[in-house]
Amino acid sequence: MDFSLLRNIISRYCAGEENWVDSRTVYIGHKEPPPGAEAYIPQRYPDNRIVSSKYTFWNFIPKNLFEQFRRIANFYFLLIFLVQLIIDTPTSPVTSGLPLFFVITVTAIKQGYEDWLRHKADCSINECPVDVVQQGKAVRTQSHKLRVGDIVMVREDDTFPCDLIFLSSSRDDGTCYVTTTSLDGESSHKTYYAVPDTMAFKTEQEVDSLHATIECEQPQPDLYKFVGRINIYKDKEEPVSRTLGAENLLLRGATLKNTQHIYAVAVYTGMETKMALNYQSKSQKRSAVEKSMNAFLIVYLCILISKALINTVLKYAWQWSPDRDEPWYNHRTEHERQRHVVIRAFTDFLAFMVLFNYIIPVSMYVTVEMQKFLGSYFITWDEEMFDEELGQGAQVNTSDLNEELGQVEYVFTDKTGTLTENNMEFIECCVDGNVYIPHAICNGQILSAASSIDMIDSSPGGYRREYEDLFFRALCLCHTVQVKEEETVDGIKRGIHQGRPTSFYISSSPDEVALVEGMKRLGYTYLRLKDNHMEILNKDDEIERFELLHVLNFDSVRRRMSVIVKTVSGEYLLFCKGADSSIFPRVVSGKVEQVKAHVEQNAVEGLRTLCVAYRRLSESEYREACHHLTEAMLALQDREQRLAQAYDVIERDFVLLGATAVEDRLQEKAADTIESLHKAGIKVWVLTGDKMETAAATCYASKLFRRSTQILELTKKRTKEQSLHDVLFELNRTVLRQRSISGLSVDCLDFGLIIDGATLSAVLKPTQEVSGHGNYREIFLEICRNCSAVLCCRMAPLQKAQIVKLIKLSKEHPITLAIGDGANDVSMILEAHVGIGIMGKEGRQAARNSDYAIPKFKHLKKMLLVHGHYYYIRIAELVQYFFYKNVCFIFPQFLYQFFCGFSQQPLYDTAYLTLYNISFTSLPILLYSLVEQHVTIDALKREPSLYRDIAKNSLLRWPVFLYWTCLGLFDAVTFFFGAYFLFDNTTFTSNGQMFGNWTFGTLIFTVLVFTVTLKLALDTRHWTWINHFVIWGSLLFYVIFSLLWGGIIWPFLNYQRMYYVFMQMLSSGPAWLSIILLITVSLLPDVIKKVLCRAICPTATERAQVQEKLLPGGVGEPTPLSFRRSYKGRSADSTLLHLGAGETISLSSSGPLAQKLLTHLAEGGGSDLSSLSPYMLRLSGAGFAYCAPGPETPV
């Protein structure tokens, strides 16, 4: 066993703070430093084993039993079982022990099987093959055997097995490309850099000869932060020290791309890796229904204790006189006479507890477990939730939370890969006020890219043609795209055209790939970067070469990037692209107003926009810029600040060329799903690691934010201008003022909040007092409560979990659901009440650690609005019904004690006591809880607002619980006193025999079984053949069992008190009449109550049920169709518009231009485009170009 963790804790807290260091020393290849360098202190670190399971072979039984007996019911039944074993009770210990053993065993098997699946998944990860460099050779070993200091070789498309420091690469420039989709949700290729002094090592022997140590910080969960230093020893020289940063650290879970292989050294392993530190620990999740069951159980436990106490007190009051205390037929033994009265009273109290304990049936927990387990299969069998592309359907990893799907109030969703397809597509561009849409259709034919520029009007004077050429060249040159010519990427063959492999693009930003591919469709193709020269293929199929002089990389503060290139003619050009807010203030000429209007329109449509500008540099200006850049790059102190200053000096006096629009395509029906969730009263929050502009655009596209939504920003940029305190109070005043103005008005202003990770950290700081008004988090929560949607961007995985926990623990205690597709979402999935994983492109970590897994985000709609709705309705009825039928069952037993001298005489036979909850009444409610549909599936999909009817655990609230309990008491009183008074004078059967106590009890039990079963039949709306079979079959089984039980003398019984009792009862005509009359009287109040409630104040669900009757087949009212954006240019979804002179043009009706034109036509503009003033349309081979006449025209 590894005691390193315990040793670290002891040395930190017991040995004194001076012995605790915040850094670790890693000896590369486990080589000691040379003599005289530094002391060699061997350190022990955890192995590379990942553990996501909850149990082990040794702790499964004690830990599982502890968790199960934390349930009040299980603990209670254990006590009852022990009481039955210790004292003489009216019933056998088997009646409590056997059901309890069954419940514990079934639950343990189910939870053990689920944890075994997690163990299996862990083993598949821990046993992955890894190449470790040992003695100059690459040795294949298993992942869990890796140790800190091992040198690892990772090949292309392999996942990094632990956190590694990058030493060398197969690429000459010492770089490698990595995707971190499973960590931060970004699928783009990121560039990492090898240590400069080791980047030349190309073989295992060279790497193994490295003699160095790494000093770095202790493990911490921040994915974007790393501080370290490498000391390289060369012969007898002083060690060479190089700083290490996040650009040198390769994180576990990331994947190597576009690089044949790399060598790296392990610094953090196993549960100390950043990925593991961002995992939340697994905890047992309990649903709101289970909490309600425990609360009801406490009430019934109090009722049980009260009953036992009342009967005990009344027994001793009634037996106060000697003739009643010890009648002639029941003399006590000498030992019983000598027992103290307190001990006798306590024993009698326990005996009454055992007699009445059936009011809390253990069978309810068995039935609930079976309902959850069997009901979960309906999710996996749902064909509508099966994805053909993945070849998989929904999965259920835990069935304990099925009903919680019907109680969700907050949905926290990831963006990339969850809301979006993680696939960027170039939509259009605006050049000097002209809009270009690739692949437009003219006379039914897609115009070729080669002719795209030829047909653009070159007048006046050709200056517009020059701007167009500059714009397209700028987008072909201003990027960090890499060209890959292999046939496969991510294991998928691509780039093959007519049997020959062609190049395709990869980049750290998917937007850049989309832009370069868009330019290719418009006639300009980026070919390669070779010998520091960028090559592009222009519209005339001519190769143009530009020398790449400098790249001014993108950063989130500047929000732009630039390149300086030199043309063949010796001209220096600076091309820049970036966010509109960072480009427009630096522009000195160009059609700013027209481009700005177009950018605003695209942003409203949810497209990601970038502006493009350029500047010509003279020889002296270039030399000055080069001087600024070189000076900043060589600085050892404040390098980032100096580079920012240099960039600011160089990037100015731009000429605006135009803007681009790129779409991160939403997943199919993602917007419809979010809209349905809003209608259902569910608040949706987007938690993403992406930047604010990108995430906001997606929120608009997915209808999370609407055009009317007023956006409130709580970001680092704003808190720099004002203090966090002032910003929070200003936002709080804004939302509270609007709420007070709107009052009860429906047309109140819609707020949306945007917050970033840095600001969230400041908000969540503990003990941060705000001038006596409480802490920041309460103000933040108040703002969030008044916002219809919230976007949290630049979130670390642990921050996602923190914000879910913040909402979960707020004073309303709402039910939360988290959904994501990557390992970066695991923390929030584990933190939320319900966690759902998407089987997306980012691995299976989220799906494996979630409670449920679905193929696409659109399936969440049916998961909640249909399955969740049904599960909650069914289990709520099951719980209430079980308590109701047991009140009906036991209260007559309580009343009977007043007529038998409180002697603990059972009213029912032992067989009836044992089988009532197990056989006679259990199957109908189990089947009801599996197949009942109070409204149809189509109605639930069509009317998401029906979800509000069951919100906040409405069917298990105290008033509803009280109604069911009172109904049970009424029925129990009806059974007992109805039978008592009806047979008060009619105590003889047809053959002159008298009714005894067992006949009286059997009569009440018969009325009881028929009443509770018929009550369930009245509540059933969805009848199938199996409902009929089980309900009527259960009643028939009771009759047959009673006939057999009382018709045969059973040799294994030491009593025959029930012999011929049931047949004797049925031979009496008054008994038949009494049974029918009592059943009718018992059911009547519930029927009257339902009729009156439906007539006076029907719920939305009841109104939907009425509509279904009026509309056979469940056909609802038609819903208005909404436009769905599709840029594939399918001719089946197109509109023909007349250009005049017999020429027509076909437009995709969902494209942005088509929507504008169709809107114009719908307003009476006519079907001829010649009437489409003030727009001027020009044809181009690869797209349409239209010109707006001026800034006053909305584009």
Inform me whether the pLDDT recorded for 1014 exceeds 70. yes
Q: Which residues are catalytic?
A: 414
Is 579:556 a contact under the CB 8 Å cutoff? no
For 1177, the enclosing helix (H) or strand (E) is strand 1176-1179
| Selection from 415, 283, 382, 387 nearest residue 835 by Cα | 283
Q: Which pLDDT belongs to residue 1170?
A: 36
Cis peptide before 1174, with omega less than 30 degrees from 0? yes
Write phi, then psi, for 132 (nearest 5 degrees): -115, 135
**Higher pLDDT among residues 315 and 71, named by residue:** 315
Q: Which pLDDT belongs to residue 1008?
A: 94
* Count of CA atoms in the C-beta half-sphere (13 A) of 501: 12
Is 1157:1166 a contact under the CB 8 Å cutoff? no
Q: How would residue 841 be classed by pLDDT, with cut points 50, 70 and 90? A: low
Mean pLDDT is highest, among 597-611, 694-708, 1082-1096, for 1082-1096
Q: Which pLDDT belongs to residue 268?
A: 92
Span 274-332, pLDDT tens digits: 888 876 555 667 788 888 888 888 888 889 889 889 988 888 887 776 666 666 556 66
Separation between Cα atoms, residue 21 and residue 6, nearest integer Å = 16
- In the three-class reduction of DSSP (H, G, I as helix; E, B as strand; rest coil), residue 242 is classed as strand
Token couple for 279:
């995992």
Separation between Cα atoms, residue 496 and residue 1044, nearest integer Å = 78
Instruction: Identify residue 162 by its one-letter amino acid code.
Output: C
Inform me whether the pLDDT recorded for 923 exceeds 80. yes
Cis peptide before 460, with omega less than 30 degrees from 0? yes
Is 326:903 a contact under the CB 8 Å cutoff? no
**Higher pLDDT among residues 717 and 233, named by residue:** 233
669: left (phi over 0), alpha (psi -120 to 50) or beta: left
DSSP category for residue 1120: P
Inform me whether the pLDDT recorded for 490 exceeds 80. no
Q: Which pLDDT belongs to residue 1157?
A: 44
Give the lowest-confidence range in 245-254, 718-727, 1093-1102: 718-727
Give the lowest-confidence range in 41-45, 231-235, 963-967: 41-45
1166: left (phi over 0), alpha (psi -120 to 50) or beta: left
590: left (phi over 0), alpha (psi -120 to 50) or beta: left
Residue that the structure tokens 């963006």 belong to: 415
The whole model's pTM is what? 0.68
Instruction: Identify residue 534 by its one-letter amino acid code.
Output: M
Strands 834-838 and 751-756: unpaired
> What is the full DSSP assignment across 433-489?
TEEE-SS-EETTEEPPGGGTTTTS--TTTTHHHHHHHHHHHHHHHSS--EEE-SSEE
Separation between Cα atoms, residue 911 and residue 916, nearest integer Å = 8
Inform me whether the pLDDT recorded for 8 exceeds 60. no
For 35, 512, 611, the CA distances from 614, given in Å and listed in that order, are 58, 17, 10
Q: Which residues pair with 617 in a beta bridge?
A: 572
**Higher pLDDT among residues 1036 and 906, named by residue:** 1036
Strands 852-854 and 186-193: unpaired
Separation between Cα atoms, residue 714 and residue 735, nearest integer Å = 13
Inform me whether the pLDDT recorded for 650 exceeds 60. yes
Q: Which pLDDT belongs to residue 718?
A: 76
- In the three-class reduction of DSSP (H, G, I as helix; E, B as strand; rest coil), residue 111 is classed as helix
**Higher pLDDT among residues 390 and 894, named by residue:** 894
Separation between Cα atoms, residue 313 and residue 316, nearest integer Å = 5
Is 629:562 a contact under the CB 8 Å cutoff? no
Mean pLDDT of the chain: 78
Span 613-625, pLDDT tens digits: 999 998 888 989 8
Contacts of 56 (CB under 8 A, 6+ apart): none
Count CB atoms within 10 A of the CB of residue 395.
19
**Higher pLDDT among residues 1185 and 813, named by residue:** 813
Q: Burial-class residue 994 by CB neighbours within 10 Å (0-12, 13-18, 19+).
A: exposed
Span 867-892, pLDDT tens digits: 999 999 999 999 999 999 999 999 99
Span 525-569, pLDDT tens digits: 888 887 778 889 888 888 889 988 888 887 766 778 999 999 988
Inform me whether the pLDDT recorded for 1152 exceeds 70. no
Average of per-residue pLDDT across 811-830: 86
> What is the full DSSP assignment across 642-663?
HHHHHHHHHS-SEEEEEEEEEE
Q: Which pLDDT belongs to residue 1140?
A: 35
**Where are the extended beta strands (E) located within 41-98?**
none
Q: How would residue 900 be classed by pLDDT, with cut points 50, 70 and 90? A: confident
Q: Which pLDDT belongs to residue 440?
A: 52
Q: Which pLDDT belongs to residue 871?
A: 93
| Selection from 1151, 1147, 1146, 1145 nearest residue 1126 by Cα | 1151
Span 425-474, pLDDT tens digits: 888 898 877 888 876 533 333 343 333 333 333 333 445 677 888 999 99
Q: Which residues pair with 838 in a beta bridge?
A: 854
Average of per-residue pLDDT across 727-736: 81
Dihedral sign (CA 400, 405, 406, 408): positive
Q: Which pLDDT belongs to residue 347?
A: 84
Inform me whether the pLDDT recorded for 29 exceeds 90. no
Inform me whether the pLDDT recorded for 55 exceeds 70. yes
Strands 249-250 and 492-493: unpaired
Q: Which residues pair with 526 in a beta bridge?
A: 536
* Count of CA atoms in the C-beta half-sphere (13 A) of 809: 9
Separation between Cα atoms, residue 714 and residue 728, nearest integer Å = 8
Count CB atoms within 10 A of the CB of residue 387.
15
**Higher pLDDT among residues 585 and 462, named by residue:** 585
For 3, 208, 264, the CA distances from 150, given in Å and listed in that order, are 21, 10, 8
Instruction: Identify residue 608 by its one-letter amino acid code.
Output: R
Token couple for 739:
């709420």
Q: Which pLDDT belongs to residue 99?
A: 73
- In the three-class reduction of DSSP (H, G, I as helix; E, B as strand; rest coil), residue 240 is classed as strand
Inform me whether the pLDDT recorded for 603 exceeds 60. yes
Determine the straight-line distance between the first and last CA of the chain, rounded to whole angstroms: 69
Residue that the structure tokens 């770095």 belong to: 216
Q: Which pLDDT belongs to residue 329?
A: 59
Q: Which residues pair with 854 in a beta bridge?
A: 838
Count CB atoms within 10 A of the CB of residue 1092.
10
User: Cα angle vertex 680, ends 675, 686, to 5°?
Assistant: 50
Across 152-165, b (16+ Cβ under 10 Å) vs e yields bbbebebbbbbbbb
Percent of the chain with pLDDT over 90: 18
* Count of CA atoms in the C-beta half-sphere (13 A) of 1057: 17
Count CB atoms within 10 A of the CB of residue 46.
18
Strands 492-493 and 504-506: unpaired
Q: How would residue 7 be classed by pLDDT, with cut points 50, 70 and 90? A: very low
| Selection from 432, 428, 518 nearest residue 469 by Cα | 432
Q: Burial-class residue 424 by CB neighbours within 10 Å (0-12, 13-18, 19+).
A: buried
| Selection from 959, 930, 962, 925 nearest residue 364 by Cα | 925
Count CB atoms within 10 A of the CB of residue 100.
19
Inform me whether the pLDDT recorded for 118 exceeds 50. yes
Separation between Cα atoms, residue 700 and residue 43, nearest integer Å = 52
Separation between Cα atoms, residue 737 and residue 730, nearest integer Å = 10
Write phi, then psi, for 744 (nearest 5 degrees): -95, 10
Q: Which pLDDT belongs to residue 638?
A: 65
Inform me whether the pLDDT recorded for 972 exceeds 90. yes
Average of per-residue pLDDT across 831-851: 79
> What is the full DSSP assignment across 309-327?
HHHHHHHHHHTTSHHHHS-
Average of per-residue pLDDT across 366-389: 87
| Selection from 1044, 1075, 1073 nearest residue 1060 by Cα | 1044
Q: Which pLDDT belongs to residue 836?
A: 92
Q: Which residues pair with 546 in a beta bridge?
A: 534
